[in-house]
Chains A and B, each alone.
Chain A
């Protein structure tokens, strides 16, 4: 069972536009929600992360919006650039896991293409 559901599967955006990717989760024990960016042949790299005590976090052109009651969070990429073309993964983890492993549960990914 997919613990984190992500949409859309793929996204095409014009340069300068806004890219929006959405994720939803069920497990209320999750308390850390990162977004990772992955280029072909590379490992995922942390882009931005949020904890549930805030509703929004902004870092440069990247913003996470978090809705705790709806158990949803989204990534907004403002002024999208061709260099942003990559696969984006949302994820979630719980810091108080019974084994101590705060492993990440990933969404299925969104392939973003920014057209020049």
Chain B
């Protein structure tokens, strides 16, 4: 399909491990967002890319969280030294036009930190 894809779909990590979550946006979409969705809550913004430029990382909860989109397409969200409170679903969304337009979400990566 031509939607947003994310991998892995599920990730179990031991506390202290590093994890990397991948997002493949819709081809040609300029804007890419990462959100964190805790159980029973709405998604919360983490960071935003316009092409390869990370324009907003105000939602990243700590310096253990790092995101990149080096070629303006695929993005990776990395969490270092995972903690139990990092357990959540991590959603990626893309949109065609910066500043406007529908955001299309991927299925998410469910991260469980033990």
Contact = CB atoms under 8 A, between A and B. Distances in A.
Interface of A: 6, 32, 34, 36, 41-46, 49, 89, 91, 95-97, 99-109
Interface in B92-112: 93, 98-100, 102-108
Interface residues of A, dominant DSSP:
loop
A108 B41 contact: yes
Contact of B100 (A95, A106, A108): A95
Nearest to A106: B42
Given A43-B91, A43-B106, A100 B99 contact: yes
Interface stretch (B12-20, B53-61, B71-79, B80-88): B53-61
A49 B102 contact: yes
Contacts of A46: 102-104
Contact of A43 (B4, B31, B55, B102): B4
Contacts of B108: 42-43
A99 B58 CA distance: 10
A42 B55 CA distance: 27
Given A109-B40, A109-B41, A42 B59 contact: no
Contact of B56 (A49, A100, A105): A100
Contacts of A104: 33, 35, 43, 45, 93, 103
Interface of B: 4, 31, 33, 35, 40-45, 48, 50, 55-56, 58-59, 91, 93, 98-100, 102-108
Given A41-B107, A43-B108, A101 B42 contact: no
A103 B42 contact: no
* The 8 A-B residue pairs with the shortest CB-CB distance in the complex, in nearest-first order: A106-B42, A43-B105, A101-B48, A101-B56, A99-B56, A103-B45, A95-B99, A44-B105
A104 B107 CA distance: 17
Given A99-B55, A99-B56, A89 B42 contact: yes
Q: Which of B31, B56, B102, B103 has the most CB of A within 10 A?
A: B103
Nearest to A31: B100
B105 A45 contact: yes
Contacts of A44: 43, 91, 105
